Amino acid sequence: MVYLGADHRGFSLKEELKKYLDQKGYEYRDLGNVEYDPDDDYPDFVFPVANQVADGESDHRGIVICGSGVGACVAANKIKGVRAGLVMSPEQAVKAREDDDVNILCLSADFEAREAVYEVVEAFLNTDFSNAARHIRRLEKIANREEVVG
C-alpha cells in the first residue's frame, strides 16, 4: 500500500502520480488534499500519511509532496517510526531504501524534474532494504533516540 499526501503546491504532481500508479497497478490511498486549496498546509496531509506508514505493515510506504519537499520531509520525520527522505534521483532513491530503509518518499513539486519523478517513484517502490548489519545498527541508534525523545 502506498499512501499519498500533498498540499496545494504538490497537488498537481500528486494527481499525476495517481494516474501513473493506476497504470502500473499499484495500490494506493490518497489522504489529501483531495481538491486544490491555495491556503492549505502541508502538515495537514503529511501527518496522516506518516501515521499510516508508522502504524501499518512493513511494506506500507508513503509519498508526500510540497513545494520544496523539505517541509513535508521535516513534518513526516516527526512521527516515530518514519524514515522520510527528500529524493531527487532514482539512484538516490535506491540508496535511501537500501541503506536507510526510507519508508516515506518526499518529493519537491517545484524543483523535481517531472520526467525523473516516475523513475524516482519506481526506484523507491521497487527497492528493498539491504538488511546489512551496519545499516541495521545505524537504524537501531535512530530508533533508540526516538525512544529517548518520545
Q: How many CA atoms lie within 13 A of 68 on its CB side?
A: 5
Residue 103's φ and ψ, nearest 5 degrees, are -110, -5
**pLDDT, tens digit, 9 for 90 and up, residues 104-148:** 999 999 999 888 999 999 999 999 999 999 999 999 999 999 887
Q: Where are the alpha helices (DSSP H) in the chain?
A: 11-24, 43-55, 70-76, 90-100, 114-126, 133-149
Q: What percent of the chain has pLDDT over 90?
A: 91
Q: 3-class DSSP state for residue 135? A: helix
What is the number of structural domains in the chain? 1
Environment class of residue 148 by beta-carbon count within 10 Å: exposed (0-12), middle (13-18) or buried (19+)?
A: exposed
Q: What is the CATH number of the domain that holds 36?
A: 3.40.1400.10
pTM of the model: 0.96
Q: How far apart are CA 31 and CA 8, in angstroms?
A: 13
Nine cell digits for residue 88: 531527487
Domain containing 54: what range? 2-149
Biggest CA pair distance of the chain = 45
